[in-house]
Amino acid sequence: MKPAPITHLKQEMKQRTQGELLEICLRLARFKKENKELLTYLLFEIQDEQAYIESIKKEMDQQFEEINQSNIYFAKKSIRKIVRTTNKFIRYSKHKQTEVELLLHFCKCLKNSSISMNHSVALQNIYIRQIQKIKKTIGSLHEDLQFDYGEELKALGV
């Protein structure tokens, strides 16, 4: 089955009743964890973006504590998973400021962890890519925010 384009979906949704739309949303939430997470964000967390950011930072800290550091291979896999999870939460929000704060927190956690990035080119590349994403996103923010986040980047040694 080929999915319909967004425009067709939007037109069809306009023709449905509120009850039908509610049933469709609940059905979507049952099928995939990601759909349920997005729905949770849209219904409960969108009003308080700062609390959303803080909860993700706590989750990120917990994930960094659970990294298996016995082997650089396992550490690398765990860090990639943290990046994927963080990017998923950034997609939910769509706020550039949220993106910058979460990526900065990730870079701080990675830098402060006991994982030696000097022994792994892949880890260095992950770190560099996140720094590049931060710089690109900072450029689209208000000047005051650009300065503040620029200072945080400098604190990371970039």
* Count of other CB atoms within 10 angstroms of residue 131: 17
- 64, 85 contact by CB (below 8 A): no
Domain ranges of the chain: 48-155
pTM: 0.87
The percentage of residues in the chain with a pLDDT greater than 70, rounded to a whole number, is: 99
- Give the model's confidence band at 82: pLDDT under 50 very low, under 70 low, under 90 confident, else very high: very high
Torsion angle of C-alpha atoms 5, 7, 8, 14, degrees rounded to 10: 140
What is the rounded CA–CA span in Å between residue 158 and residue 153? Answer: 6
Tokens at residue 20, please?
Answer: 């039908």
Output the pLDDT for position 70.
86
Q: Is the pLDDT of residue 101 over 90?
A: yes
Instruction: Please return the burial class of 12, using the count of CB atoms within 10 Å of its CB with bins 0-12, 13-18 and 19+.
Output: exposed
Per-residue pLDDT tens over the stretch 35-67: 899 888 988 898 999 999 999 999 999 999 999
Per-residue pLDDT tens over the stretch 2-33: 888 989 888 988 999 999 989 988 888 888 89
